[in-house]
Amino acid sequence: MKIGFIGLGIMGKPMSKNLLKAGHEVLCFDLNKAAVDEVVAAGAKAAGSVGEVAGECSFIITMLPNSPQVAAVAFDKGGIADSAKPGTLVVDMSSIAPLAARDIHNRLKEKGIRMLDAPVSGGEPKAIDGSLSVMIGGAQADFDEALPVLKAMAGSVVRVGEIGAGNIAKLANQIIVAVNIAGLAEAMTLSAKAGVDPELVFEAIRGGLAGSTVMNAKAPMMLDRNIKPGFKINLHIKDLGNIMDTGHGVGVPLPLSAAVLEMMHALRVENMGDADHSALVRYYEKLANCEVKRQ
């Protein structure tokens, strides 16, 4: 299948490469020429504009930072709404506000263009190995059509409900990830400050009830003092902002999400917005005046 892919960031690059490995033809576009060149080197073709992608492909994936960028790609002059043929299926794999997803869907529908909201979880490592979790909102028939393509990039693909439901599921995911990382950072800092090797604490507890995919992924990064981003603090701030807006909109208090959001804002003030979200441990280290590291 010929697939248009718009957005070649940390996640989009490996995702598009996995489509190529699965035998799909990929026509890609991004404002970052280096990212485009890298995907072209893997076998894709480069487009000169969003409009070129939309004009040539009846199946388009977007993987962009937030709601405004998705709306711009969809509705700016020469964008998807102007250039795509009726019946085109847009699979937005960005993590955006659920209400924004519904609005973009409704506006595209007026042009005869279909849409799924399909945010992902797993970060760069799972984008690379093709084992992402994809949470989808949209019509069942559109989901069924997209499923074979999405399986080239994911280990789990679940339709949660109608349009917007995918991003509700992603927000729920991001609450759990953020609070898990903060709890892990707090526990590792307590261990280090108390004079107990945090690596041994991690090994002791990882097989019990506290164990999790988050712990297994992020504890080694904390211990190695590795803050190279698999998922940036700035992006998690964006997600937590969408979480708070959605929670307030439907009448759900979110005190733990609010607390972690403020921790991440504090790290951004310290110029760590582009660090991995496991850098939450640095927030605790500053409070406790200690370092979490391998001994």
> What residues are annotated to the active site?
170
Give buried/exposed letters for 147-158 (b at 16+ CB in 10 A, else e). eebbebbbeebe
DSSP state of 49: S
Residues 6+ apart with CB under 8 A from 181: 214, 218, 260, 277, 278, 280
Six-digit token string for 139: 């019509």
Q: Do 149 and 119 form a contact (C-beta atoms < 8 A)?
A: no
Six-digit token string for 129: 């190995």
Closest CA to 278 of 184, 147, 200: 184
Q: Do 19 and 47 form a contact (C-beta atoms < 8 A)?
A: no
**Beta strand pairing status for 120-121 and 132-137?**
antiparallel
Amino acid at the residue 59: F
Q: Do 96 and 62 form a contact (C-beta atoms < 8 A)?
A: no
Kind plus residue range of the DSSP H or E element containing 115? strand 114-117
Q: d(Cα 146, Cα 59) in Å, to the nearest integer?
A: 8
